[in-house]
Amino acid sequence: MNQITQENIQVGEIANGLPLSIPVYRVQGDGSGPKVYIQANMHGAEVQGNAVIYQLLEQLKHLPLKADVTLVPYANPIGCNQKSGEFTLGRFDPITGTNWNRMYVDHSHLVEEFIETHLDCSLEQIKASFRQRLLDHTNTQLAQPHDRINTGKRIALNLQRLAHEADIVLDLHTGPISAKHLYCPEYAKPSASYFNIPHVLLIPNDFDGAMDEASFCPWWKLQQAYAEKGRQIPVFTEAFTVELGSQEKIDLEEALNDANSLVSYLTYKQAFSGSPQQPEEMTRYACTLENYRTFYAPMGGMIEYTAKPGDKVEAGQTIAKILRMERYLSENPLNTISIDEDAITILHFASASVNQGTELFKFFTKYEIL
Amino acid sequence: MNQITQENIQVGEIANGLPLSIPVYRVQGDGSGPKVYIQANMHGAEVQGNAVIYQLLEQLKHLPLKADVTLVPYANPIGCNQKSGEFTLGRFDPITGTNWNRMYVDHSHLVEEFIETHLDCSLEQIKASFRQRLLDHTNTQLAQPHDRINTGKRIALNLQRLAHEADIVLDLHTGPISAKHLYCPEYAKPSASYFNIPHVLLIPNDFDGAMDEASFCPWWKLQQAYAEKGRQIPVFTEAFTVELGSQEKIDLEEALNDANSLVSYLTYKQAFSGSPQQPEEMTRYACTLENYRTFYAPMGGMIEYTAKPGDKVEAGQTIAKILRMERYLSENPLNTISIDEDAITILHFASASVNQGTELFKFFTKYEIL
Amino acid sequence: MNQITQENIQVGEIANGLPLSIPVYRVQGDGSGPKVYIQANMHGAEVQGNAVIYQLLEQLKHLPLKADVTLVPYANPIGCNQKSGEFTLGRFDPITGTNWNRMYVDHSHLVEEFIETHLDCSLEQIKASFRQRLLDHTNTQLAQPHDRINTGKRIALNLQRLAHEADIVLDLHTGPISAKHLYCPEYAKPSASYFNIPHVLLIPNDFDGAMDEASFCPWWKLQQAYAEKGRQIPVFTEAFTVELGSQEKIDLEEALNDANSLVSYLTYKQAFSGSPQQPEEMTRYACTLENYRTFYAPMGGMIEYTAKPGDKVEAGQTIAKILRMERYLSENPLNTISIDEDAITILHFASASVNQGTELFKFFTKYEIL
Amino acid sequence: MNQITQENIQVGEIANGLPLSIPVYRVQGDGSGPKVYIQANMHGAEVQGNAVIYQLLEQLKHLPLKADVTLVPYANPIGCNQKSGEFTLGRFDPITGTNWNRMYVDHSHLVEEFIETHLDCSLEQIKASFRQRLLDHTNTQLAQPHDRINTGKRIALNLQRLAHEADIVLDLHTGPISAKHLYCPEYAKPSASYFNIPHVLLIPNDFDGAMDEASFCPWWKLQQAYAEKGRQIPVFTEAFTVELGSQEKIDLEEALNDANSLVSYLTYKQAFSGSPQQPEEMTRYACTLENYRTFYAPMGGMIEYTAKPGDKVEAGQTIAKILRMERYLSENPLNTISIDEDAITILHFASASVNQGTELFKFFTKYEIL
């Protein structure tokens, strides 16, 4: 049975002066596999990843482990304890409005100087040295005077420090009311088929503040820079945002399915000496980020979502009905909303009350079979 | 086809000085039936009642109407437009924390003086005069200097003024994640079987601030007072809180079912000249308020609700699992929660994140078949 | 130098499963004085009491102490860490809207049975036995199954357990934008002159859920019950809510003044062997609770508060101006608000944006010199 | 007396289906002056600008007006009516967390194509044609299908449409607890001395989503582009964010001072035929944006702000004290915070409770006399 250890890392302090900490679990493999980092619940309401980490830990105890795996549930100790009304208000810092998953730091600028001095190094040297640069740079930022770092950045940098140690980074999220989907960097597209996730969003290899991007962008840019110099090296790291379904929901059986999905991918990445899980057969759909369409509420009202997460809809098909009862006599109180192109419904808003312009749906459009 | 008219009633002003108003719809019957008042959405997230009012209006146009029916969707214009995060924060005034449905005014104290002067009046006189007292008293309170009335009270009094004109008052609410249930005053128990609602909560004939109580308490106390004087009169008014299911959800088909349920009850109360709807056959369960058990979270954690609204559970049966991943190694991370008596699950909390002591479930215990 | 000890008491658990605790500081006197309990910050934004406890602790180290003093800063670990926007949202439970200072439990019902069995006991016996009843009853309630107690009640009962051990209870609060004032039970009116607080609100000896009431009501009712039986005993406990000024503000110098004010009162109550502080000479005004007038915003708008906390205003005098810029051309945009009776301004609302019916001011009316 | 007209522009719809509108006031000059656009209260708690607009309107009625002036109080009808607790939660969209003042659209990309076709046009033609481009482009975006525009963008575009008609744009804001300061684009530095504002923040001529930037960036880039082609043209537009002081405060006398300050600047810009106001003599300090230092809370705690807005502080000087009462016995409970360089305190956080990393202060560092 593999040993699990726990460390608690302080990531801040709250108003009464007490520390904010996150629990970090580590399972050691035989040293021959990749290093894996998995975190969950960066957004407060997106709790299901904690259940997936539970199911993973239960399995990792017994699996023939080559990889070293680090797992962080409750990655954001402010977000997961912040209520406003009955619901968890954890998508953004309640003080500043900043999305907690847009606070990570881009280290891609390290590439330029690095490549000058490491052009002819071995792959192993490149990987080790560049990883060290990422860690050093993260540590330098954390070592700034405390008055230079804001709350979200301090949490993000602490997590990023853990992530930069890994070859594989999985950030477990959920949508509001959502089908399972995977944010996959374009260069890692072949890996997407090893997850049991039918919807794959191909994102460009650019940085927009999220954990997955912070983890893979520097490595992808390193590979690009070497290619420009005429040397082909692999992208040494893969990072994904795994959207597990809907927020505000714990489902332990589904968490086991998702744990199996992650084990299937990790099996493919040589994390185990045997083959604990193979990917399920399913049709997987891919959509590029530019075709990932946000559909805003065209009017304010009370909404019935008739297109459900995972539903394919055709151009012209009804996706929602919007009821407006203030002017029942003078306007049509029940409005039918449709979309003007074929699409797969990925997620919809969590509430039935919408202002004009509220983000109502997200759709895969111009999607293909992966 | 029956005529529907609309009036907008001002119930307050917001911070930019603009009026807050509610839309009031009226359908006139032939004058031979009862007066009916139906409102919805006093709590901001409890939107389904608006859809029920929509479906009722669509039917009332065509039904052979004896009753005069007044319908108010969006009864609380602050609550239904108040967001905090994605969800509607409309259970209480965001400034004071006061539950919007605890702001109505008890007029039962009018009984004592009234009965002295109306002991031998005809039933018709009693009904008309006491109703006038209720209306006068409500109007007097609304006519106070503006600096004497708070925001919620002003909304409540305006609604109460409409309700006091009616013989039948239906306040449409929802629970968080909830089965359909009916708050029914004990004296009106025979009426409960005419709604298509399987769970009936029998509440004492006391005042606790809600619309249904404000509507029926004075009339019930009037009947009691006459009885003490040796005269038997009916309770002239019936008032119910109808809990339609879950909040933050619009379902137009279910709204039609619920509209039919209300029409069935109103048919029994002679609101129509024909019989548009009969009650469905179903087993109806009744529970007294003192046996309506609130089950608080025995520990903080992430919760999977295994008992679903409507489920019967037995003593000792698992109703929820609570996951705690901060001390995976040193305590049991997955806790099974059970209840110690037989019960019917009526509703559960809307979020999967709970503090110790959060209201987790409400159960019918010691329930009977109605 | 007196020894200070610290104990941390667990009062709940948050959603990640970690305990919520409060720090309890104790300073032991020579045993000859009263027992004193002081808490602060039950409402999250009312932080100044923590600074007063700081200044008290600094002094208690060195004062000739007869009393045993227990001090609890951060009495509510949820409230003081709950942000919504920049401000602390800590007046009520963000999930339920319940005011945190309305969750204490009334034990007055214990009097009836107690007096039957203790009618002829010595004063010491009465005091000790009744105190034990209060403690036992509080402990019994805390010992209920966890699923029977909600979050706020569990915090309140834990604090109440500490308070019931004391002869003197001081609950440190603040208003929104406020002058210093004291909630003083009518029977304890003579003590009010020993605080350096110019505004004294005389409250009836009834229970409305607050800490001060939970502390003194049973003792006052005990005294009343003995009086009815023809025996005169003292009210053994005094409890006050001390309103220190405005919320969201720490002022250490003012905290020292307030600490001195409390020491002055405690000196009068024999807490010290010498006389560390005498009350300042000042005019103190008293007002009964029924004359403590809430002035609601007569219209929605943007408000300039011209009457400041502590200001005496005369009938007809302007207390505020309300600006409404939506209808500059069609109505008077600048409205002058006055009060119709002489008053002392005690506090006003913290924001400049008000709905019609927002609590704008509180005034002492029909006040007298104490 | 100059005529004032009002128009209400719809900028969205709320959840009950009712329109959100903003009031637009226009005062017509004799046509010989610049066009001026002034808006206020884009952030909900920043209300004082409405009072400044009130005082401006009162003056504009009577002044010898050359300019056409458009004034919009309550520019954001969601923000100014959104409460959470007592305070106005209006800095960001409560659903998404997006800062309302980061939703404007950059039209600088229009420059490239424009200059190709207008290189040799007259200044008047350039100004008129480019303005028309800005308006057309804004209108095109607003004319998109409703499902393509989110709530904040729709409000922003409607305001931007008004602003693009003007030569001078003044966006009235406040800080949390703040001294008066002016965001001034570097090219418009000479104008800063005409405001009665002692602190001037020189911002680069880049776009970061705010109204002032959206208004001047395209014009500045146009001027740059002509310069590259060898032709010198003026920057035709000036835009400023005017920070009036603290949020959640209406002060009509101070609003008159600020109105005078704006009239002074507008006098310099030829908005009047006479000279209604001259700038006050005062020392004005300038600081570049890169030297505008944010000072984050180095620890969590309860804070006394000892450096007040407007205060000059020296390196090493105490700016705040942080009290932490959880570990009074084991750590120093009172912490003195200083800054390591000379600075002028511009603003500080509005609450006394801070997490580690909360934005505590903003300082001018390396500032100069303007």
In contact, D368 and D354? CB cutoff 8 Å: no
List CB contacts (< 8 A) between B352 and chain A.
47, 248-250
- Chain A touched by C53 (CB under 8 Å): no
Contacts of D213 (CB under 8 A, 6+ apart): D104, D106, D185, D203, D206, D207, D239
List CB contacts (< 8 A) between B97 and chain C.
91-93, 97-99
Q: Using CB atoms within 10 A of its CB, is residue A317 exposed (0-12), middle (13-18) or buried (19+)?
A: middle
Size of interface A-C (CB pairs under 8 A): 34
Q: What is the mean pLDDT of chain D?
A: 96
Q: How many helices (H) and strands (E) does chain B have?
A: 6, 21
- CB pair distance less than 8 Å for D87 and C351: yes
What are the beta bridge partners of residue A52? none
Residue with tokens 């704006």: D262
Cα(A33)–Cα(A274) distance, integer angstroms: 12
What are the beta bridge partners of residue C12? C20
For residue A274, give both structure tokens: 């045997």
List CB contacts (< 8 A) between A83 and chain C.
82, 94-95
- Chain B touched by A318 (CB under 8 Å): no
D88 Cα to chain C: minimum distance (Å): 7
- CB pair distance less than 8 Å for A77 and C16: yes
Residue C241's pLDDT is 98
Nearest CA in chain D to C249: D352
Residue C274's pLDDT is 86
Q: Best residue in C353, C356, C360, C361 to probe D by mutation, most D CBs within 10 Å? A: C353
In contact, A15 and D353? CB cutoff 8 Å: yes
Q: What are phi and psi of D50, to 5 degrees?
A: -65, -40
Q: Using CB atoms, list chains with 3+ pairs below 8 Å to chain C.
A: A, B, D
Q: pTM for the whole thing?
A: 0.97
- Chain A touched by D165 (CB under 8 Å): no
Closest CA to C176 of C362, C302, C304: C362
Closest CA to C254 of C17, C54, C106, C86: C54
In contact, A199 and A285? CB cutoff 8 Å: yes
Q: Best residue in B27, B91, B351 to probe A by mutation, most A CBs within 10 Å? A: B351
Helices B110-118 and B123-142 meet at what angle, rounded to 10?
Answer: 140
Contacts of D124 (CB under 8 A, 6+ apart): none
Cα B271 to chain centroid, rounded: 20
Q: Best residue in B25, B353, B358, B359 to probe A by mutation, most A CBs within 10 Å? A: B353
- Chain C touched by D205 (CB under 8 Å): no
For residue C218, give both structure tokens: 């049973």
Cα(A16)–Cα(D355) distance, integer angstroms: 8
The helix (run of H) or strand (run of E) holding residue A141 is: helix A123-142
Structure letter (DSSP) for residue C2: -
Q: What is the mean pLDDT of residues B315-335?
A: 97
Q: In this model, does residue B273 exceed pLDDT 90? A: yes
Residue B254's pLDDT is 98
Q: Best residue in C11, C82, C151, C249 to probe A by mutation, most A CBs within 10 Å? A: C82
Residue B89's pLDDT is 84
D43 Cα to chain C: minimum distance (Å): 12
List CB contacts (< 8 A) between B15 and chain D.
80-81, 88
For residue C293, give both structure tokens: 């007038």
- CB pair distance less than 8 Å for C87 and D351: yes
Gap between the terminal Cα atoms of chain A: 37
- Chain C touched by B362 (CB under 8 Å): no
- Chain A touched by D17 (CB under 8 Å): yes
Cα C110 to chain centroid, rounded: 24
- Chain A touched by B95 (CB under 8 Å): no
Residue C290's pLDDT is 97
Residue with tokens 């600006």: C323
Q: Best residue in A84, A86, A93 to probe C by mutation, most C CBs within 10 Å? A: A84
For residue A293, give both structure tokens: 């369409």
Tell me which amino acid residue D285 is.
Answer: Y
What are the beta bridge partners of residue D361? D295, D348
Q: Best residue in D25, D86, D349 to probe C by mutation, most C CBs within 10 Å? A: D86
Residue A83's pLDDT is 86
- CB pair distance less than 8 Å for D300 and A15: yes
Nearest CA in chain A to C87: A95
DSSP string over D236-250: --EEEEEEEEESS--
What are the beta bridge partners of residue C16? none
- CB pair distance less than 8 Å for B302 and A83: no
Q: What are phi and psi of B51, to 5 degrees?
A: -70, -35
Q: Which of residues 168-197 of B touch A (CB under 8 A)?
A: 176
- Chain C touched by B57 (CB under 8 Å): no
List CB contacts (< 8 A) between B45 and chain D.
none
Residue B205's pLDDT is 87
A104 Cα to chain C: minimum distance (Å): 22
Cα(D17)–Cα(D277) distance, integer angstroms: 45
> At B275, is the pLDDT very low, low, confident or very high (cuts 50, 70, 90)?
confident
- Chain C touched by A16 (CB under 8 Å): yes
Closest CA to C284 of C299, C301, C264: C264
> Radius of gyration over alpha carbons of chain D, in Å?
22
| Vertex B316: Cα angle to B310 and B321 (nearest 5) | 70
Closest CA to A114 of A101, A99, A127, A95: A127
Residue A208's pLDDT is 93
- CB pair distance less than 8 Å for C97 and B95: no
Cα(C105)–Cα(C145) distance, integer angstroms: 17
User: What sign does the CA torsion over C307, C311, C316, C317 have?
Assistant: negative
Assign 3-class secondary structure to D75-135: CCCCHHHCEECCEECCCECCCCCCEHHHCCCCCCCHHHHHHHHHCCCCHHHHHHHHHHHHH
Cα(C21)–Cα(C43) distance, integer angstroms: 16
List CB contacts (< 8 A) between A300 and chain D.
12-18
From the list A45, A73, A352, which residue is nearest B325 (CB)? Answer: A73
> At B83, is the pLDDT very low, low, confident or very high (cuts 50, 70, 90)?
confident
For residue D125, give both structure tokens: 């033609």
Closest CA to D338 of C34, A97, A147, A245: A147
List CB contacts (< 8 A) between A297 and chain D.
146-147
Instruction: Please write the tens of the pLDDT for every residue from A154-178.
Output: 999 999 999 999 999 999 999 999 9
- Chain D touched by B15 (CB under 8 Å): yes
CA distances from residue A347 to A41, A262, A363, B144, B353 in whole angstroms, order as listed: 18, 21, 7, 50, 21
For residue B151, give both structure tokens: 């925001």
CA distances from residue B27 to B5, B59, C179 in whole angstroms, order as listed: 7, 11, 54
The helix (run of H) or strand (run of E) holding residue C347 is: strand C343-348
Size of interface B-D (CB pairs under 8 A): 34
For residue C327, give both structure tokens: 């209808």
For residue D336, give both structure tokens: 């003195």
From the list B14, B85, B95, which residue is nearest D95 (CB)? Answer: B85
For residue C93, give both structure tokens: 């439970």
The parts of chain A modelled with pLDDT lower than 70 are none
Percentage of chain D beyond pLDDT 70 is 100
Q: Using CB atoms within 10 A of its CB, is residue D364 exposed (0-12), middle (13-18) or buried (19+)?
A: buried
Q: Which of residues 75-94 of B touch D (CB under 8 A)?
A: 77, 80-86, 88-89, 94
Cα(B170)–Cα(B166) distance, integer angstroms: 10
- CB pair distance less than 8 Å for C328 and D23: yes
From the list A86, A88, A94, which residue is nearest C85 (CB)? Answer: A94
**Long-range contacts for D112-118 (Cβ within 8 Å, ≥24 apart)?**
D112/D225, D114/D222, D115/D222, D115/D225, D115/D226, D115/D229
In contact, D82 and D44? CB cutoff 8 Å: yes
Structure letter (DSSP) for residue B66: -
List CB contacts (< 8 A) between B82 and chain D.
82-83
Dihedral (C-alpha) C148, C152, C156, C158: value to the nearest 10 degrees? 60
Tell me which amino acid residue D9 is.
Answer: I
Percentage of chain B beyond pLDDT 70 is 100
Q: In this model, does residue D115 exceed pLDDT 90? A: yes
Size of interface B-C (CB pairs under 8 A): 155
| 3-state secondary structure at position A348 | strand
Residue B84's pLDDT is 85
> At B168, is the pLDDT very low, low, confident or very high (cuts 50, 70, 90)?
very high
Q: What per-residue string of b and e applies to B79-113 under the rule 16 or more CB within 10 Å gives b?
A: bbbbbbbbbbbbbbbbbbbbbbbebbeebbebbee
Cα(D100)–Cα(D155) distance, integer angstroms: 9
Instruction: Please write the tens of the pLDDT for every residue from D119-144.
Output: 999 999 999 999 999 999 999 999 99
- Chain B touched by D6 (CB under 8 Å): no
Instruction: Please write the tens of the pLDDT for every residue from D207-225.
Output: 999 999 999 999 999 999 9
Q: In this model, does residue D89 exceed pLDDT 90? A: no
pLDDT tens sequence for chain C (370 residues): 899 999 999 999 999 899 999 999 999 999 999 999 999 999 999 999 999 999 999 999 999 999 999 999 999 999 988 888 899 988 899 899 999 999 999 999 999 999 999 999 999 999 999 999 999 999 999 999 999 999 999 999 999 999 999 999 999 999 999 999 999 999 999 999 999 999 999 999 889 999 999 999 999 999 999 999 999 999 999 999 999 999 999 999 999 999 999 999 999 999 999 888 999 999 999 999 999 999 999 999 999 999 999 999 999 999 999 999 999 999 999 999 999 999 999 999 999 999 999 999 999 999 999 9
B276 Cα to chain A: minimum distance (Å): 23
Residue A1's pLDDT is 85
For residue D218, give both structure tokens: 């395209």
Q: Using CB atoms within 10 A of its CB, is residue C140 exposed (0-12), middle (13-18) or buried (19+)?
A: exposed
Beta sheet of C353-354, edge-to-edge order: C334-338, C318-323, C301-305, C353-354
Q: Which of residues 231-290 of B touch A (CB under 8 A)?
A: 248-252
Q: Cβ atoms within 10 A of the Cβ of A257, count?
A: 15
In contact, A212 and A140? CB cutoff 8 Å: no
Tell me which amino acid residue A355 is.
Answer: N
Cα(D66)–Cα(D74) distance, integer angstroms: 26
- Chain B touched by C143 (CB under 8 Å): no
Residue B274's pLDDT is 86
Cα(C209)–Cα(C206) distance, integer angstroms: 9
- Chain D touched by C209 (CB under 8 Å): no
The helix (run of H) or strand (run of E) holding residue B318 is: strand B318-323
- Chain D touched by A209 (CB under 8 Å): no
- CB pair distance less than 8 Å for C355 and B145: no
Domains of chain C: 4-282 (3.40.630.10), 290-369 (2.40.50.100)
